[in-house]
């Protein structure tokens, strides 16, 4: 049984935050940080674990989990620290004063404090859920301490106003850069022999060629499949006119150039991340369809142009960029899952099944990690000798801001563990600030990035 205590008085630094949230609520409505009604009271009886969000509960012998925001025991003080320092989000959970879990939520909006609060608090909820699951499984162990926060003497609004003004300037510059397009991505490819980006960790070597678009759409999330001696490039095609992604394919010509992509799979909801693969003599695809709150396995009835819904693998799940792995006779899906509020790109969840079509079950330790730079896949698994490596998106500054390579150290019913991601460095082969997806089949390597 789990109990949570609550303080009767508001935190000292809460007034300034409440004032800003009240103003923003007129536009966005209440956030997770908005004041709630009174919590129920009463004696819960014997408990196995106390989750104390007040840093005021005194116990005798019962294990206590506490939560810290940027080293502070209260959320308002943590937000003030974020505004003053400009640091990326940092959360920590302590068990009886010892750090046992860390989280780095992704901020999807760096302007509005209510949305920032949603991302931070959704990450905090997931981190607590992760800690409780690991405590119940006996897997909650000490980890390295976080550095102590730097004391700040400036008042709340003196921290908030520069932060908000900088956000406005950044938002205006982004709109100027994009023009009439709300956002823009580009896919690129190259033909290489020998090591590629996954091996060198750099965007060097043979230059990439941009997959041209007509300005009325963009292409993103490239996956490439080699079949019968030919290469097929699957992408998300996003026409600005519809505002909804579909899956398109282009074929590599004898001249080494991919043709214009054509739509091969379209639904009433957004589709992206067209992970295409061969299994048991057939070709399948698992695109992202989180907008429909489902994960669907499609089968090629006539490759590459006609696809049919084969099996619904997961329902009522906002699961993003689900990436498939078959290992030791078992199938695994790894991706990020959004639980109500918060970012879709910072909370890893894992599902497994005895066969491709299921039944699929959630891992006992979900959520596996809360980290803006080490959770959302950016391509299929890559095998390096005996090791498996997963490309993961780096959203520390912005969505699509970079990619890292993360070695899988353990994957079974009892735990999931990765080594820290190794960032992919820039290089002359792709003159962009970073990449968002990396895949390869044979001698064809594909990437994408924000334009």
Indicate whether 349 pLDDT > 80.
Answer: yes
CA distance 149 to 439: 39
Question: Which helix (DSSP H) or strand (DSSP E) does residue 302 occupy?
Answer: strand 294-302
CA distance 394 to 435: 9
Please report which residue ranges of 72-155 form alpha helices under DSSP H. Answer: 75-85, 113-137
CA distance 437 to 378: 4
DSSP 3-state percent helix, strand, coil across the chain (nearest 5): 20, 40, 45
43-52, 127-136, 159-168, 282-291: least confident range: 159-168
Considering the entire predicted model, what is its pTM? Answer: 0.91
Tokens of 82: 């974020």
Please, which pLDDT band fits residue 154 given cuts at 50, 70 and 90? low
Say if residue 3 is exposed, middle or buried (CB neighbours under 10 Å; 0-12, 13-18, 19+).
middle
The per-residue pLDDT for 403 is 95
Please, which pLDDT band fits residue 178 given cuts at 50, 70 and 90? low
Q: Do residues 213 and 230 lie in contact, with contact meaning Cβ atoms separated by under 8 Å? A: no
Please, which pLDDT band fits residue 399 given cuts at 50, 70 and 90? confident
Residues in the chain: 451
The model's pLDDT over 105-117, given as tens digits with 9 standing for 90+, comes to: 998 888 788 888 8
Measured on CA atoms in the order 78, 137, 340, 30, is the torsion positive or negative? negative
CA distance 245 to 234: 13
Averaged over 283-298, what is the pLDDT?
97
Percent of the chain with pLDDT over 90: 64
3 state DSSP class of 195: coil
- Cis peptide bond N-terminal to 304, omega within 30: yes
The model's pLDDT over 238-278, given as tens digits with 9 standing for 90+, comes to: 999 999 999 999 999 999 999 999 999 999 999 999 999 99
The per-residue pLDDT for 22 is 86
The per-residue pLDDT for 110 is 80
Q: Do residues 247 and 300 lie in contact, with contact meaning Cβ atoms separated by under 8 Å? A: no
CA distance 111 to 165: 8
Q: Which of 354, 370, 350 has the alpha carbon at shortest distance from 362?
A: 350
List, as own/partner pairs, every contact residues 52-55 make where C-beta atoms lie below 8 angstroms and the sequence separation is at least 24, other chains included: 52/4, 52/5, 53/4, 53/5, 53/6, 54/5, 54/6, 54/7
Please, which pLDDT band fits residue 2 given cuts at 50, 70 and 90? low
Residue matched to tokens 């091969």? 264
| Neighbour order of strands in the sheet with 209-210 | 209-210, 185-191, 444-450, 437-441
The model's pLDDT over 185-235, given as tens digits with 9 standing for 90+, comes to: 999 999 999 999 999 999 999 999 999 999 999 999 999 999 999 999 999
Please, which pLDDT band fits residue 337 given cuts at 50, 70 and 90? very high
Percent of the chain with pLDDT over 70: 89
Please, which pLDDT band fits residue 384 given cuts at 50, 70 and 90? confident
The per-residue pLDDT for 319 is 97
Please, which pLDDT band fits residue 95 given cuts at 50, 70 and 90? very high
| Mean pLDDT (the chain, rounded) | 88
Indicate whether 451 pLDDT > 80.
Answer: no
């Amino acid at each position: 049984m789990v109990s949570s205590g609550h303080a009767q008085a508001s935190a000292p630094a809460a007034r300034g935050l409440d004032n800003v949230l009240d103003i923003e609520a007129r536009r966005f409505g209440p956030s997770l940080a908005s004041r709630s009604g009174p919590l129920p009271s009463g004696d819960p009886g014997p408990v196995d674990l106390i989750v104390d969000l007040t840093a005021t509960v005194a116990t005798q012998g019962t294990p206590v989990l506490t939560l810290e925001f940027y080293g502070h025991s209260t959320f308002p003080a943590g937000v003030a620290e974020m505004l003053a320092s400009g640091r990326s989000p940092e959360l920590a959970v302590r068990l009886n004063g010892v750090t046992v879990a860390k989280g780095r939520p992704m901020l999807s909006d760096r302007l509005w404090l209510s949305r920032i609060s949603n991302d931070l608090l959704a990450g905090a909820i997931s981190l607590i859920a992760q800690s409780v699951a690991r405590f119940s499984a006996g897997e909650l162990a000490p980890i390295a301490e976080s550095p102590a926060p730097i004391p700040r003497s400036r008042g709340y609004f003196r921290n908030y106003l520069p932060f908000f003004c900088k956000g406005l300037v950044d938002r205006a510059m982004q709109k100027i850069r994009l023009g009439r397009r709300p956002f823009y991505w580009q896919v690129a490819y190259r033909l290489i022999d020998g090591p590629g980006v996954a091996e060198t960790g750099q965007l060097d070597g043979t230059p990439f060629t941009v997959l041209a678009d007509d300005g009325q759409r963009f292409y993103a999330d490239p996956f490439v499949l080699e079949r019968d001696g030919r290469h097929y490039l699957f992408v998300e095609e996003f026409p600005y006119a519809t505002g909804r992604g579909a899956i398109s394919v282009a074929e590599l010509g004898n001249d080494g150039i991919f043709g214009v992509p054509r739509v091969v799979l379209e639904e009433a909801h957004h589709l992206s991340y067209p992970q295409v693969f061969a299994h048991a003599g057939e070709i399948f695809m698992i695109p992202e369809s989180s907008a429909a709150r489902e994960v669907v396995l499609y089968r090629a009835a006539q490759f590459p142009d006609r696809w049919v819904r084969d099996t619904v693998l997961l329902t009522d799940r906002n699961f993003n960029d689900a990436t498939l792995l078959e290992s030791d006779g078992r199938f695994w899906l790894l991706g990020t899952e959004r639980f109500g509020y918060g970012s879709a790109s910072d909370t890893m969840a894992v599902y497994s099944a005895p066969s491709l079509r299921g039944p699929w079950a959630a891992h006992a330790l979900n959520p596996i990690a809360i980290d803006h730079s080490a959770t959302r896949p950016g391509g299929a698994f890559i095998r390096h000798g005996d090791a498996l490596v997963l490309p993961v998106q780096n959203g520390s500054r912005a969505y699509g801001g970079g990619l890292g390579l993360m070695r899988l150290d353990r994957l079974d019913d009892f735990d999931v563990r990765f080594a820290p991601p190794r960032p992919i460095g820039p290089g002359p082969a792709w003159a962009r600030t970073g990449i968002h997806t990396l895949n390869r089949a044979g001698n064809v390597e594909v990437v994408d990035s924000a334009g």
